Amino acid sequence: MYTLGARADSYYEYLLKQWIQGGKTEDQLLEDYLQAIEGVKKNLLQKSSPNGLTFVGEISHGQFSPKMDHLVCFLPGTLALGAHHGLPADHMDLAQRLMETCYQMYLQMETGLSPEIVHFNMHQGSTRDIEVKLADRHNLLRPETVESLFYLYRFTKDHKYQDWGWEILQSFNKYTKVSTSKVSTPRSVHQGQYTKVSTSKVSTPRSVRARSVHQGQYTKLSTPRSVHQGQYTKVSTPSSVHQGQYTKLSTSRRSFSRSAAGGPPRGSGCLVNSRLGFRIEV
């Protein structure tokens, strides 16, 4: 099988990112990435009917399948990132066309949420571009489309990508948020059905004893009393399994409180886009 979906997507994504993070010195990574993109354009890229959406299909047992996982929506952002770092300009053009397709995977569903997998119509006379099979209609809150929207907005400054991200966020809030402030995974993107998230309390042992194989000594590990008030519990780590010596580790009450409240700790180097909910480590 040839696919950019499940069990393959991260490999292609990190060929480019490892090349960039390595100071652009590992030429083999770049060569493999460029060769892969050319292979995608030659063998997996097709257009749907009736509206001509560009999509990435799969080849299985020598036959092309117009199946595209939501996972493949990492590709618009990756292509845009490569173009930003000097790779061929047509990578950005392809990124924008695929970004439109990933957005349509949300827009054409009744809930405004993309299913896990879609199939594209390629036959003349089709009335809609996207079909969803019964087993694929669920949504797992995957981030790939929104991540790609972030890249496209940052590199093009086109505000439509912000607007698309905002629409998707509104749909997630409407159909996946439950009364406990948690989110659920919809069973169907057509009807907004969801899987209930249990709110029953799960008891957590106050301490876990890691015994020494020599003298039966142990280190207590306890859980924070409250994530709201910034209270914390020290965790000790044995410096010797023979003598039970340990090193005390403590956390800053102040910085823990800021992090638990949703804001980045001071000096963490985080960029936060409150509108789209992006958090980027820099």
Percent of the chain residues past pLDDT 70, beyond the cut: 64
Which of the four pLDDT bands, split at 50, 70 and 90, describes residue 104? Answer: very high
First to last CA, the chain: 36
- In angstroms, the Cα distances linking 162 to 31, 150, 280 are 32, 8, 16
SS (H, E, C) the chain: CECCCCCCHHHHHHHHHHHHHCCCCCHHHHHHHHHHHHHHHHHCEEECCCCCCEEECEEECCEEECEEEHHHHHHHHHHHHHHHCCCCCHHHHHHHHHHHHHHHHHHCCCCCCCCCEEEECCCCCCCCCEECCHHHCCCCCCCHHHHHHHHHHHHHCCCHHHHHHHHHHHHHHHHHECCCCCECCECCCCCCCECCCCCCCCCCCCCEEEECCCCCCEEEECCCCCCCCCCCCCEEEECCCCCCCEEEECCCHHHHHHHHCCCCCCCCCEEEECCCCEEEEC
Instruction: Provide the pLDDT for residue 51.
Output: 95
Which of the four pLDDT bands, split at 50, 70 and 90, describes residue 7? Answer: confident
Residue located via tokens 């079909």: 131
Q: 197-218 pLDDT, tens per residue?
A: 443 333 333 332 233 333 344 3
Between 279 and 120, where is the model more confident?
Answer: 120
Give CA–CA dist 15/172, Å, rounded.
31
Whether the pLDDT of residue 256 is over 50: the answer is no
Own/partner pairs for 28-35, CB < 8 Å, 24+ apart? 33/82, 34/87
Domain ranges across the chain: 9-176, 208-281
Between 130 and 268, where is the model more confident?
Answer: 130
Topology of domain 9-176 in CATH is Glycosyltransferase (1.50.10)
Residues designated as active site: 116
Instruction: Provide the pLDDT for residue 219.
Output: 38
Give CA–CA dist 224/231, Å, rounded.
6
Q: Which of 120, 117, 77, 68 is nearest to 99 (CA)?
A: 77
Q: What is the mean pLDDT of residues 246-262?
A: 40
Whether the pLDDT of residue 151 is over 70: the answer is yes
Give CA–CA dist 207/245, Å, rounded.
18
Which of the four pLDDT bands, split at 50, 70 and 90, describes residue 189? Answer: low
Q: What is the mean pLDDT of residues 236-258?
A: 41
Query: 68 pairs with which residues across the strands?
Result: 118
Instruction: Provide the pLDDT for residue 194.
Output: 52
Which residues make Cβ contacts (< 8 Å) with residue 154, sequence separation at least 6?
none
Whether the pLDDT of residue 62 is over 80: the answer is yes
Q: 74-84 pLDDT, tens per residue?
A: 999 999 999 99
Instruction: Provide the pLDDT for residue 177.
Output: 87
Give CA–CA dist 57/118, Å, rounded.
10
Q: 110-122 pLDDT, tens per residue?
A: 999 999 999 999 9
pTM (two decimals): 0.66
